[in-house]
Amino acid sequence: MFESLAQLPPDPILGLIAAYKQDPRPNKIDVGVGVYRDENGETPVLQSVKQAEQYLLASETSKAYVGPAGNPEFIAQMKKLILGSGHTALDRLALVQTPGGCGALRVAAELIKRAKAGARIWVSDPTWGNHIPLLGDAGVELVSYPYYNFSRHQICFDEMFSALKHVGKGDLVLFHACCHNPSGADLSQAQWQEITRLAEQQGFVPFIDMAYQGFGEGLDQDAYGIRLMCERLPEVLLAVSCSKNFGLYRERVGALALLSDQPQVASSHFANIVRGIYSMPPSHGASIVATILSDSSLEQQWRVELTQMRERIIAMRQCLVEKMKALGAGPRFAHIAAQQGMFSFLGITPTEVAALREQHAVYMVDTGRVSLAGLNDNNIDAFCSALQAVLIPSGGV
């Protein structure tokens, strides 16, 4: 029967990993997938993670099942990391450990379908490519709202706000807490306040995806919108990833949380949905996070490492803008220094993206989204020269 299935193209983001690996050119540059790289182009295991692993290796006494909800210490620590200790809504938050942020999104889709058949999720245009299959393939209808103006390289807040005025009770609006993927353009605090008032008026449920806490301005600043909405609104759905901020990509660590007046009811549905999809989450990554967050010196070390990652990306953003200016591109790339997180759109065409790949071994998503974490002092000159060359094929400036 399976001969009826046709060959599919590779995933637009993950397919780049394989293509890049196969490229024999020595000076190739990968600014495709959103994985942090240090100044040597490596994705090292954080020291805080290594220490937590050593502790776990010595102290773990069992590999018995963790249960559908996951590690209780992870659950307690993640609530505090997301909302901040002392937040008034902490006891209204139900949280379940999931296999990465993707697992959280998928469980969320099942929860939404159970809670209200026909509920729609409004997603930003553009949004992370995998939001569409993770949520849409699960059977929830997706509708898009305007978010980013590609010619002005900034959020089109007025259009976004006008569109969201038409969203009512029973629908959800998906926001990126920080480091918007793919644009890097984030809501200001004043804009979060306006959207929160709108959600109050309209009755829609915010569904906030936070995959990059700590990569924008800082752990607390990046959770501003979440904390505000959880303070003011009756219901908020949250999908969180520990892939980037703990560097635990392959360990698959994330969480889904629901703020409501019935956290125990929410927890019972989380457990039931998880049991029916993958039974229970993997343990190792969440144990690492729980170990780090429950030990003040390990936590401090992790915060320092997270700050280093964030500051390196910010430095690369600024460096790129300055170098392109020096090459004669003028202010064309200035938006990149004003945006945050791993990604920005260069604002180039798919043909220029293909030329970068074919002629210069520079790999990025076809939309022109770059992961700034792929740049370092050793490759940024080559990257900028290649970019300038594809923009002005004659080589003149």
Of the residues 171, 222, 244, 323, only one is catalytic, namely 244
To the query of whether residue 125 is one of the catalytic residues in this protein, the response is no
Are 134 and 83 contacting, i.e. CB atoms less than 8 angstroms apart?
A: no
Catalytic residue among 30, 79, 122, 128: 128
Interface residue list for ligand LMR (CB under 6 A): 13, 33-34, 128, 130, 181
Residue 366 tokens read as 């076809």
Compute the least distance from the CB of residue 354 to ligand LMR, in Å: 19
Instruction: Specify whether 11 is catalytic.
Output: no
Helix (H, G, I), strand (E, B) or coil at 226: helix
Closest residue to ligand LMR, judged by C-beta, is: 34
Which residue, 154 or 367, has its beta carbon nearer to ligand LMR? 367
Least gap, CB of 157 to ligand LMR (angstroms): 23
CB of 130 to ligand LMR, least distance (A): 5
Q: How far is CA 365 from CA 8, 20, 21, 273, 372, in A?
A: 18, 12, 15, 33, 12
Residue 397 Cβ, how far from ligand LMR at the closest point, in Å? 31
Torsion angle (degrees, nearest 10) of CA 42, 48, 49, 52: 160
**377 annotated active-site:** no
Q: Which amino acid is at 194?
A: E
Cα–Cα nearest to 290, from 64, 44, 53, 43: 53
Of 71 and 181, the one with the shorter C-beta distance to ligand LMR is 181
Nearer of residues 30 and 110 to ligand LMR, judged by Cβ: 30
Q: Which of 132, 289, 121, 105 is nearest to 210 (CA)?
A: 105
Nearer residue to ligand LMR within complex by CB, 132 or 397? 132
Our CB check for ligand LMR shows the closer of 13 and 187 to be 13
**DSSP class of residue 135?**
I
Cα(200)–Cα(203) distance, integer angstroms: 5
Classify the C-alpha dihedral 119-114-87-338 as positive or negative: negative
Query: Packing angle between helix 189-202 and helix 224-232, nearest 10 degrees?
Result: 30
Residue 141: CB minimum distance to ligand LMR, A: 23
In the chain, what's the furthest Cα-to-Cα distance? 66
Positions marked catalytic: 128, 209, 244
